[in-house]
Structure 1
Amino acid sequence: MRLLYSQNSLVFALGCLALAAGGVAWLVGRAPLAQWLWLAGTLPALLSVVVDTVRTLRRRDLGIDVLAVIAMAGALALDQALTAVIIAVMFASGRALEGFARLRAQREMTALINRAPRTAQRMDGGSVETVPLDAVAAGDRLLVRAGDVVPVDGLIDSASVVLDESALTGESVPVTRRQHETVCSGVVNAGPPFEMRASTTAADSTYAGIVRLVASAQASRAPAARMADRYAAWFVPLSLALAGIAWAASGDPVRALAVLVVATPCPLILAVPVAIVSAMSSCARRGILMKNAGALEHLARAKTLILDKTGTLTTGQSELVSVRSEAGNTPEQLLTLAASLDQYSGHVIGQAIVGAARRRGLAPLPASDVQEQGGAGMSGVVQGQRVLVGALDYVLDGLSGTPAWPENFLRGVAEEGGSAVFVAVDGALAGALHLADPLRVEAPRALRRLRRDGLERVVMLTGDHHQIAEAVGTALDVDDVFAEQTPANKLTVVTAEQQRQITAMVGDGINDAPALAAADVGIAMGARGATASAESADVVLLVDRLDRLADARHMAGHGLRIAGQSVAVGMGLSLVAMVAAALGWLTPVQGAVLQELIDVAVILNALRALALKPERGTRARLSQEQWQQLEQEHEALLPMLDRLASVADRLPDSGNQAAMDDVRALYRELTETLLPHEQADARQLYPKMADMLDGDDPLATLSRTHQELFALCRRLGGVLASVPEAADAPTESVAELRRLLFGLATLWRLHFAQERELFQSLV
């Protein structure tokens, strides 16, 4: 692109020099010399456009540049050297301006390549040495200095780091990462130096893959070329016909030349590629990489969206859903004991449990005599207690007696999806953990935005069984669900949907690669996704968030509309000028100048696509720090929600005094902790949120949920007050207490989920 821009700039410079020198020669009375100078200035542009036209004709396309060839050749044949050189200058200036605009539009993508690190600071003992990036191996300890680009993917060894992830995510606010968290190559250290341990080589790192994808995107041929060819099929014959009519009607070939001049070089071949590449650059700035320009057109026009479930609609990672604790154990104690053993395991479920404990402010304890049985569970001693963590059969082995609740717990986990981890302490079953791959917080909002933006059909594919798939599909209101799908089945579904209308496919795994390649536009989720899916896809979302897909479609549609506006206005003005030239109102020189003004106008209009931004419904935004604070507050309250369900499960029909004491203790905690939190939200947080949102009362739904929660709590207190503390509760009171506890647990989890979705939409 830079070479082509330089060539066009040279042709433009030679044309300008020849035009100026010829003008001087003509003014001093050297007309023959002026003619030769103008001829010399025309030939480089004529040669350049002839070469391009021959290439186009070899592809059996009628390129729009043929008009420029005819116009310049015709001017020379009619001894109109001045007209010819002006056409050459205007044509070369248009091409140079187009090249400059495309370079400017590709700046965001080029910046991604130029900032790729070349070296790394490897730590060897107490010394630090600078080594080539290719010399870094997995397991190497690296030092990332302040302002350095992280060279490879790895794990953070320092307590905490501050990173600028804007190059990958488009978010300008630095984020804080903690020890043992993953850090991606390509982000910038925005704080003090920190240490990390490489987990991949440079070639396999996130940023290296992004650089390869960017190089592919820049090398792609824009669909604008195909669009120009389609328009050329009728525009070139129309121009030639109008020129012929003007010649025949007037008997003056110069009038025909004037018609061809104003038809050259045509805004079509300038505006469309500039608008398309500008839109691609705007998308890249938001962490959305279009590998080829055709992807942008297909994404904007797609009517069917096919989504893989795992890793696309869900996070792709196990997270703690709930904790069931038996008498004598709180959910916090149970989770701490499980994490204390799992911290010694590399299993993904174990790491999910450890992560959940740390997010809730629970520190895993040291354990001894730790043993792991692959695929079954772990055992060890924690603070003098013998603890077993794992599958039900593993935990129950050797225990005397089996309670009834584990089977019910397993049945509920199977219906909702996920896995169950049981915990036994000193020979007794102490409780269980429910872990699942949850829906992405932004998924419902992203699908609503996509439908609002013209998407007509949403289909979900998954390898999970029908029960789990239908539950997810119902939650997201998709149009069709295909469960238990193999890669071959997914390919079949994509092919069938393509028969109806333009289809986009979103996935993140290796098994999605064939379907992504077959779709009209394949979209890979996240820069950390499988290499095969990223290479098969046409669009890669560098940020692991589904709402970026809605951003991409919104900006792609606006980019195409800007291109269409430029074409319509530019070609409309050209047609008006052609009619004026045919009527003799414009000379060839005047037509060339007018055409140049039209070209400049449409290119400037096309460059508006550089300023494209995602659709936003709010006037203000939450910072990452505010979002993290809100998340931490919710995490701290989740154990209390677990206790609501656990106490309700353990509540016997007889309502004995010990069980009632548990309910009363829980009620006191609700009134002292959870209710004050919600009241503070209603008085302090919600008014601030309302100022960021449109509408008269945008948080009315959340406020209504508060009213229901407060009412249930009051009802719970009333039932407890009706039961004397020294007596067992009657059966009808126990049933009411159980109903209220389960209702509070369910409604509060729903309320937290609603708040999370709202808060994340403001980040």
Structure 2
Amino acid sequence: MTTATAPPVPRQPAMLFLRSRDGIITLATVVAIIVHLILWFGVGLDGWARDWPLVAIVVVGGLPLMWEVLKSAIATRGGADTLAAVSIITSVLLGEWLVAAIIVLMLSGGEALEEAASKRASGTLDALARRAPTTAHRLRGRSILDGTEEVPVEDIAVGDLVAVLPHELCPVDGEVVEGHGTMDESYLTGEPYVVSKSKGSEVMSGAVNGDTPLTIVASRPAQDSRYAQIVGVLREAEENRPGIRRLADRLGAWYTVIALSLGALGWAISGDPVRFLAVVVVATPCPLLIGVPVAIIGAISLAARRGIIVKNPGMLENASKVRTVMFDKTGTLTYGRPVITEIHTGPGFAEDEVLALAASVERYSRHPLANAIRDGAAERDLPLPDVTEVSEKPGQGLTGMVGGRHIRITNRKTAHQIDPASREHIPVTPSGMESIVLVDDAYAAMIRLRDEPRASAAEFIAHLPRMHDVDKLMIISGDRESEVRYLADRVGIGEVHAGVSPEGKLAIVEKHNQRGPTMFLGDGINDAPAMAVATVGVAMGADSDVTSEAADAVILDSSLERLDDLLHIGARMRRIALQSVIGGMALSIIGMILAVFGLLTPLMGAIAQEVIDVLAVLNAARVAVVRGPLSDFDGK
């Protein structure tokens, strides 16, 4: 049985380090160097008798590393790590096995640290994968009374009946066909409450069932479930190559030319090829190889602690350069939680009566307006009668049986079709959202709602040009002009694009991309195309798989304060990463110049480079360590 358990404790960095190939090479290199020193100073051996551990590790460990370096150099037309390969080859040709081993140690240690830190940063993906449902209880007949069989979740097909036992993870997406209970979907949606489930309710793979067993019919195979989509999106994000790392490759290209030129100069001046080795050893560009990934990983970790999932690390570099910010309306500048503004009742119905009936049925709906209707009933302290059956199918609205009465919550068009007399009673509304309530197929009430702007929205709009040099702000929405203009006036945005289709949003973003970096913020599926083409796409909330997949970053709690954090994290990462890269390269160039004039031997150069590496990594690690507030925006 797949029960809901706490995610396993993440593996410690040391374990991750040692389980990688590069980590094993690093450990073996340290052992080889220690054995070499013992044979040299402890036993007093010389020549091959003392050097054999170094030769072995350079051959066994160095060759695979050099092969990876050469492949990378071909792909990037010569990068920073090319110097490391040159240093190892030169050391071997000159018989400087200790220097070669130290360079192998630097290369393998840097790669192992980066891999371990990357795995540590992907803890969310690991936790999701470990928590994924693995088995399901498939019904042998049409009822749970006929018995169940435990099968791998991959064997569940569309249409299979599955029993979800108390406190068990729901194995597949589906629809409840028997039972009445609740499910905790907070791990998937971020909503901090349980959702009632009854016949006709949709359920999601990965949700935790409550105290009551439910029978569901599978609507999608496990590999296509919402849970599988979340895991897939995060896995894809992990494989993205950061844009700033490409910047490091470009910097490394000319840095390699400088190092080789200085090495050749030292060789020419002295006539000693060891001088060339000393230069290229101290030039080994580990600040580029290690410092940049450490800064990126630190930024991802810092963002995660603030409820921001960075899917494309390259966006962190671009976030600080954005000059045009485009907002969808709902869920970005608004709470995405409409409130009731008016209830217009039909003949023979009272407001509280209809609101209580509607709220009872809405307990089983995930429609954006359902929360508003439930909250409206709660504010009036209305008792909600029990619902014996509920159904929510496309085009039919939400229906349920409450106290023997048939309740339908739908739109104006459907209401006119079911009850033609409603045309005379439902008032015309110039703006806002609405739900039409039918009781026994007769018009009972029109509930008008409106999505209000966030309390901090106006202040945040003023904050962007003042503190982040944003010079163009606009709202792009598929809603009606009156609704979009109402919001724009409330928050202080002058440019409005209303009634825009997804294709239209895409065209607007592409147009503004021509004038500089852009950011698009949205939370709906119709925002995905625009979000994907914007320089930086940010999804507010994690309710839509499609939107999250298109976004570069996902702000889980949909707050503008976290968006400001993201902008500052991007600027901080870029600033500190460049400090590590340029500072480390500057120190290395100083060391190269000393080596040109014979003031540093190859061994001294290797030790000096290790010191430079430590300084670069320590500086890059500062990205994740923030003392005091990160954001300069307080939306409270």
TM superposition score normalised by structure 1: 0.66
- Partners of 2:597 and 2:129 lie apart in 1 by 52
Alignment partner, residue 516 of structure 1: 531
Q: AA paired with 2:515?
A: R
Q: Aligned runs of 1:164-563 on 2, under 5 Å? A: 165=186, 169=190, 175=193, 177-178=195-196, 185-186=205-206, 195=214, 200-201=219-220, 202-284=222-304, 286-310=306-330, 312-314=332-334, 319-323=339-343, 331-333=351-353, 335-336=355-356, 355-356=374-375, 358-360=377-379, 361-364=381-384, 391=412, 410=428, 413-414=429-430, 416-419=431-434, 421=436, 433-439=447-453, 447=461, 454=468, 456=470, 457-529=472-544, 531=546, 533-543=547-557, 548-563=562-577
SS in 2 for 1:302: coil
Alignment of 1:69 onto 2:88: no
Asked if structure 1 preserves the Cα contact closer than 8 Å seen for 2:65 and 2:107, the reply is no
The answer for unaligned runs of 5 or more in structure 1 is: 619-692, 695-756, 759-763
Asked if structure 2 preserves the Cα contact closer than 8 Å seen for 1:389 and 1:424, the reply is no
Asked if structure 2 preserves the Cα contact closer than 8 Å seen for 1:423 and 1:430, the reply is yes
More helix by share: 1
CA shift for structure 1 position 158: 5.7
Asked if structure 2 preserves the Cα contact closer than 8 Å seen for 1:461 and 1:482, the reply is yes
SS in 2 for 1:207: helix
Asked if structure 2 preserves the Cα contact closer than 8 Å seen for 1:395 and 1:422, the reply is no
CA shift for structure 1 position 451: 5.3
Q: 1:598 to 1:353 in 2, by over 3 A?
A: closer
SS in 1 for 2:286: coil
SS in 2 for 1:203: helix
Q: AA paired with 2:609?
A: Q
Larger relative contact order, structure 1 or 2 (CA cutoff 8 Å, min sep 6): 2
SS in 2 for 1:323: strand
Alignment partner, residue 118 of structure 2: 102
SS in 2 for 1:54: helix
Asked if structure 2 preserves the Cα contact closer than 8 Å seen for 1:306 and 1:460, the reply is yes
* The one of 576, 600, 622 aligned to 1:586: 600
- Partners of 2:344 and 2:88 lie apart in 1 by 83
Q: 1:143 to 1:380 in 2, by over 3 A?
A: closer
Q: Which deviates more from structure 2 when the two are superposed, residues 75-84 or residues 211-220?
A: 75-84
Asked if structure 2 preserves the Cα contact closer than 8 Å seen for 1:421 and 1:432, the reply is yes
- Partners of 2:52 and 2:614 lie apart in 1 by 29
Alignment partner, residue 87 of structure 1: 103
Q: 1:553 to 1:118 in 2, by over 3 A?
A: farther
Q: 1:358 to 1:459 in 2, by over 3 A?
A: same
SS in 2 for 1:73: helix
CA shift for structure 1 position 275: 1.9
Alignment of 1:572 onto 2:586: yes
Asked if structure 2 preserves the Cα contact closer than 8 Å seen for 1:367 and 1:383, the reply is no
Q: AA paired with 2:251?
A: Y
Q: 1:605 to 1:99 in 2, by over 3 A?
A: farther
* The one of 611, 614, 633 aligned to 1:600: 614
* The one of 115, 136, 140 aligned to 2:131: 115
Q: Aligned runs of 1:31-42 on 2, under 5 Å? A: 31-42=47-58
CA shift for structure 1 position 231: 0.7
Q: AA paired with 2:83?
A: L
Q: 1:396 to 1:175 in 2, by over 3 A?
A: closer
- Partners of 2:81 and 2:369 lie apart in 1 by 64
- Partners of 1:33 and 1:311 lie apart in 2 by 71
SS in 2 for 1:297: helix
Asked if structure 2 preserves the Cα contact closer than 8 Å seen for 1:315 and 1:440, the reply is yes
SS in 2 for 1:433: strand
CA shift for structure 1 position 229: 1.4
Q: AA paired with 2:328?
A: D
Q: 1:234 to 1:58 in 2, by over 3 A?
A: closer
- Partners of 2:120 and 2:509 lie apart in 1 by 36
1:553-608 Cα deviation digits (max 9, x unpaired): 33333333332332243333323333333343332112212222332343344344
Q: 1:423 to 1:515 in 2, by over 3 A?
A: closer
Asked if structure 1 preserves the Cα contact closer than 8 Å seen for 2:17 and 2:23, the reply is no
Q: 1:100 to 1:138 in 2, by over 3 A?
A: same
CA shift for structure 1 position 498: 0.6
Asked if structure 2 preserves the Cα contact closer than 8 Å seen for 1:304 and 1:455, the reply is no
CA shift for structure 1 position 473: 1.7
Q: AA paired with 1:51?
A: W
SS in 2 for 1:79: coil
Q: 1:121 to 1:596 in 2, by over 3 A?
A: farther
Asked if structure 1 preserves the Cα contact closer than 8 Å seen for 2:33 and 2:53, the reply is yes
SS in 1 for 2:510: helix
TM superposition score normalised by structure 2: 0.77
Asked if structure 2 preserves the Cα contact closer than 8 Å seen for 1:580 and 1:586, the reply is yes
CA shift for structure 1 position 450: 5.3
- Partners of 1:345 and 1:252 lie apart in 2 by 82
- Partners of 2:193 and 2:419 lie apart in 1 by 44
Q: 1:395 to 1:133 in 2, by over 3 A?
A: closer
Alignment partner, residue 672 of structure 1: none
CA shift for structure 1 position 17: 4.0
- Partners of 1:390 and 1:145 lie apart in 2 by 36
- Partners of 1:301 and 1:254 lie apart in 2 by 45
Q: 1:140 to 1:551 in 2, by over 3 A?
A: farther
Q: AA paired with 2:587?
A: L
What is the percent sequence identity of the aligned residues? Answer: 32
Alignment partner, residue 690 of structure 1: none
Rg larger for? 1
SS in 1 for 2:223: coil
SS in 1 for 2:20: helix
Q: AA paired with 1:359?
A: A
CA shift for structure 1 position 468: 2.3
Q: AA paired with 2:78?
A: L
Q: AA paired with 2:103?
A: I
CA shift for structure 1 position 381: 12
Q: 1:379 to 1:136 in 2, by over 3 A?
A: closer
SS in 2 for 1:298: helix
Q: AA paired with 1:302?
A: V
Q: 1:348 to 1:291 in 2, by over 3 A?
A: closer
SS in 2 for 1:59: helix
Asked if structure 2 preserves the Cα contact closer than 8 Å seen for 1:306 and 1:459, the reply is yes
Q: AA paired with 1:213?
A: V
Alignment partner, residue 717 of structure 1: none
Alignment partner, residue 9 of structure 2: none
CA shift for structure 1 position 212: 0.1
Asked if structure 2 preserves the Cα contact closer than 8 Å seen for 1:19 and 1:38, the reply is yes
CA shift for structure 1 position 211: 0.3
- Partners of 1:542 and 1:227 lie apart in 2 by 29
Q: Which deviates more from structure 2 when the two are superposed, residues 238-247 or residues 609-618?
A: 609-618
- Partners of 2:75 and 2:309 lie apart in 1 by 29
Alignment partner, residue 125 of structure 1: 144
CA shift for structure 1 position 253: 3.4
Q: AA paired with 1:602?
A: A
CA shift for structure 1 position 496: 1.2
Alignment partner, residue 29 of structure 1: 45
